[in-house]
């Protein structure tokens, strides 16, 4: 998916999360505000003055880095210093990181360069923008960042491409020599000057980019969870009374809980199954996985909102070390430490795991004839001959088990580096990488609940589900057959996951009852 007709402007104000998503995922173009270019050039003049012969040493301008910060560097060696910094820090290893992550990383670093707080020349910033617009994507590796001093290794792999070195892929996804990619795009490699190498790698851009994308994905998946929950409630002949508004805001005023309850109640409206349960009146209350769904999904929503607040603050930041202040002073600081971002990345992995866990419990309940209120064992067509969805629940349980492991926080760990100069690090990059896996797993868990609940609702015929539930099932039935003898199940799970990923299930539901909260 691309949106090359859209242009995101840097330097004209705070970048919005949607701008980052547009560039990272939809390949929107980027340009630089003319006033920002002037500001960057003016700040660079301060750095040139500090680099002049005879001036006292300034970290990052005329000294070495990290544990070598007290080593003065002669003027004629400073370009080599910056070049060596990038080459030595481009030390990542492991699988390649996804192109959308690299594009977010580059855009967010360009945003900081455009702030006028880093001291680079305008042409450095313009070259990075040119790479984004040419859709040249540096190859960045899974391992290498400790989340402090920022995402050093990932950013260094990007900076290396600005110099005409390293590895990269073109717009078609093929790896080609970097010099060829730059030449074909009319981009001249950069010869780095004082301070510029450091400015290109000292930021939380990778972890922030992944946080923004995770928030966007979870915003959608928490609504999907309400949809699949509502189908499970109907498949299990549950009650809708626990979702009524008087039980939520007046008694327990968590905003996310009220939103989840309102969504599920709307999704159940008009259900023949629910009406039949009410008329029967045989059960007083449902199991926790149904009755407490708003409390869990609501807590997820509230955690996402906290993460969004942190992300917005970080989007308004200008992170570099050293940083150029308003008066031109260049001073060291610790703003590159990824702790605030790392914490919320870990928080999101925790709530994603719990949202998946409660969905798996509802699935298991629908497959157990002792708890499903009249459904066949494992929803099988001919129990004994057919296994139905027995092993789909195994797969779901395996996904949830993996998510629980991924919920172990990365941000409480720290391995000192740089000869103990960098003696406490955030591990924010690791928190972001495991969260991406967790988000993907959550979608798969919800896809299996969707498959299971849809079949359970079909088996309740002639009683019909709600109109919203019927709309969700209809999307699924476009590519996945209804109840019948056992068939190859993996493609059905993949199809359900695809319908969640492309938004078609959520779109169909919202076309019936309006926008979910």
In a domain, 165, yes or no: yes
pTM, two decimal places: 0.95
Whether 123 and 228 share a structural domain:
no
Residue 326 domain flag: no
Spatial distance between the Cα atoms of 493 and 39, rounded to a whole number of angstroms: 53
pLDDT per residue as tens digits for the range 478-495: 999 999 999 999 999 999
Average pLDDT for residues 157-169, to the nearest whole number? 98
CA 513 to chain centre: 28
Q: What is the pLDDT of residues 168-208, one digit of tens each?
A: 999 999 999 999 999 999 999 999 999 999 999 988 999 99
Residue range(s) defining the domain that contains residue 417: 210-319+349-512
Question: Do 136 and 238 fall within a single domain?
Answer: no
User: Residue 74 has what pLDDT?
Assistant: 84
For residue 131, being part of any structural domain is answered with yes
CATH number for the domain harbouring residue 92: 1.10.275.10
| 219 and 241, same domain (yes or no) | yes
Task: Quote the pLDDT of residue 73.
Answer: 83
Give yes or no for a contact between 78 and 59, defined as CB atoms under 8 angstroms apart: no
Q: What is the pLDDT of residue 66?
A: 66
- Contacts of 190 by beta carbon, 8 Å cutoff, 6+ apart: 123, 124, 127, 162, 163, 164, 196
488 and 412, same structural domain?
yes
Please report whether residue 168 resides in a domain: yes
Residues 499 and 392 grouped into a single domain: yes
Whether residue 1 is predicted with pLDDT greater than 60 in this model: the reply is no
- Out of 172, 203, 234, a domain closes at 203
Residues 159 and 267 in one domain: no
> Domain end: 203, 228, 262, which one?
203
Q: What is the pLDDT of residue 326?
A: 84
pLDDT over 60 at 16, yes or no: yes
pLDDT of residue 55: 77
Mean pLDDT of 69-91: 88
Residues 215 and 194 placed together within one structural domain of the fold: no
pLDDT at 321 (0 to 100): 85
* Same domain flag for 383 and 273: yes
pLDDT at 372 over 70: yes
Q: 203, 234, 256: which is the final residue of a domain?
A: 203
User: Is 143 assigned a catalytic role?
Assistant: no
Q: CA 372 → CA 285, 391, 453, 512, distances in Å?
A: 14, 17, 11, 28
Q: What confidence score (pLDDT) does residue 70 get?
A: 78
Q: Which residue has the higher pLDDT, 102 or 415?
A: 102
Cα–Cα distance for residue pair 390/368, rounded to 1 Å: 9
Q: Is residue 132 part of a domain?
A: yes
Residue among 438, 494, 478 nearest 217 (CA): 438
- What integer pLDDT is reported at residue 67 of this predicted model? 65
Contacts of residue 285, defined as CB under 8 A and 6 or more positions apart, other chains included, come to 239, 242, 291
Please check the confidence at residue 353 and state whether its pLDDT lies above 80.
Answer: yes
| 222 and 85 in a common domain | no
Q: Are residues 166 and 57 in the same domain?
A: yes
Report, as an integer, the average pLDDT of 100-125.
Answer: 96
What's the chain's average pLDDT? 94
Report the pLDDT value the prediction gives residue 140, as an integer from 0 to 100: 98
Query: How many separate domains does the chain show?
Result: 2
Residue 64: per-residue pLDDT: 75
pLDDT at residue 384 in the model: 94
Whether residue 218 is contained in a domain is answered as yes
Measured distance CA(321)–CA(155) in Å, rounded: 14
Distance CA 389, CA 452 (A): 7
Q: Which two tokens stand for residue 251?
A: 């008694």
Provide the CATH number for the domain around residue 502: 1.20.200.10
Structure-token match 């349980």, residue found: 397
What would the pLDDT profile of 435-472 be if each residue is shown by its tens digit?
999 999 999 999 999 999 999 999 999 999 999 999 99
Q: What is the pLDDT of residues 218-269, one digit of tens each?
A: 999 999 999 999 999 999 999 999 999 999 999 999 999 999 999 999 999 9
Please check whether residue 374 lies inside any domain of the structure.
yes
Confidence of residue 12 (pLDDT cuts 50, 70, 90): confident
333 lies in a domain? no
* Same-domain check for residues 188 and 225: no
Catalytic member of 59, 143, 288, 343: 59
**What's the CA gap between 34 and 468, in Å, rounded?**
49
Model confidence band, residue 4 (pLDDT cutoffs 50, 70, 90)? low
Average pLDDT over residues 49-55: 80
Residue 283's pLDDT band (cuts 50, 70, 90): confident
Distances (CA, A) of 256 to 75, 127, 214, 231, 252: 57, 43, 18, 20, 11
Provide mean pLDDT across the span 494-498. Answer: 98
Same-domain check for residues 356 and 484: yes
């Amino acid at each position: 998916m691309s949106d090359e007709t859209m242009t995101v402007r840097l330097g004209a104000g705070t970048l919005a999360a949607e701008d980052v998503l547009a560039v990272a995922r939809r390949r929107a173009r980027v340009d630089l505000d003319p006033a920002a270019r002037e500001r960057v050039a003016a700040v660079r003049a301060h750095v040139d003055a500090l680099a002049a012969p005879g001036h006292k040493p300034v970290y990052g301008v005329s000294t070495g880095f990290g544990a070598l910060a007290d080593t003065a560097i002669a003027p004629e060696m400073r370009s080599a210093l910056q070049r060596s910094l990038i080459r030595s820090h481009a030390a990542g290893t492991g699988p390649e990181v996804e192109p959308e992550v690299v594009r977010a990383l580059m855009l967010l670093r360009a945003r900081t360069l455009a702030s006028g707080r880093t001291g680079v020349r305008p042409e450095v910033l313009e070259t990075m923008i040119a790479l984004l617009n040419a859709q040249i994507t540096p190859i960045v590796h899974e391992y290498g960042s400790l989340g402090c001093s920022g995402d050093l290794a990932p950013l260094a792999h990007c900076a290396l491409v600005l110099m005409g070195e390293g590895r990269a892929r073109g717009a078609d996804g093929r790896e080609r020599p970097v010099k060829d990619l730059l030449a074909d795009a009319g981009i001249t490699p950069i010869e780095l000057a004082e301070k510029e190498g450091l400015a290109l790698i000292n930021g939380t851009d990778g972890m922030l980019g992944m946080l923004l994308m995770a928030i966007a994905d979870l915003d959608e998946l928490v609504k999907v969870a309400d949809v699949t929950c509502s189908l499970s409630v109907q498949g299990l002949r549950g009650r809708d009374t626990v979702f009524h508004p008087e039980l939520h805001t007046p008694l327990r005023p968590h905003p996310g809980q009220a939103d989840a309850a309102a969504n599920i109640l709307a999704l159940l409206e008009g259900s023949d199954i629910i009406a039949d349960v009410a008329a029967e009146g045989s059960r007083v209350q449902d199991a926790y996985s149904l009755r407490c769904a708003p409390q869990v999904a609501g807590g997820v929503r509230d955690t996402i909102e906290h993460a969004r607040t942190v992300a917005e603050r970080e989007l308004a930041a200008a992170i570099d070390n050293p940083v150029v202040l308003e008066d031109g002073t260049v001073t060291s600081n610790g703003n590159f430490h990824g702790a605030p971002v790392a914490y919320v990345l870990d928080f999101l992995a925790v709530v994603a795991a719990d949202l998946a866990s409660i969905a798996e419990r509802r699935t298991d309940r629908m497959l157990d004839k002792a708890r499903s209120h009249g459904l066949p064992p494992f929803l099988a067509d001919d129990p004994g001959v057919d296994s139905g969805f027995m092993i789909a629940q195994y797969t779901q349980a395996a996904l949830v088990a993996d998510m629980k492991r991924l919920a172990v926080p990365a941000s409480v760990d720290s391995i000192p580096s740089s000869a103990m100069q960098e003696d406490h690090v955030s591990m924010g990059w690791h928190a972001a990488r495991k969260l991406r896996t967790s988000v993907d797993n959550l979608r798969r868990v919800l896809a299996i609940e969707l498959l299971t609940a849809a079949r359970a609702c079909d088996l309740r015929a002639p009683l019909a589900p709600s109109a919203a539930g019927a709309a969700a099932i209809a999307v699924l039935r476009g590519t996945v057959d209804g109840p019948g003898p056992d068939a190859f199940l993996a493609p059905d799970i993949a199809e359900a996951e695809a319908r969640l990923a492309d938004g078609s299930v959520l779109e169909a539901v919202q076309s019936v009852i309006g926008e979910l909260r």
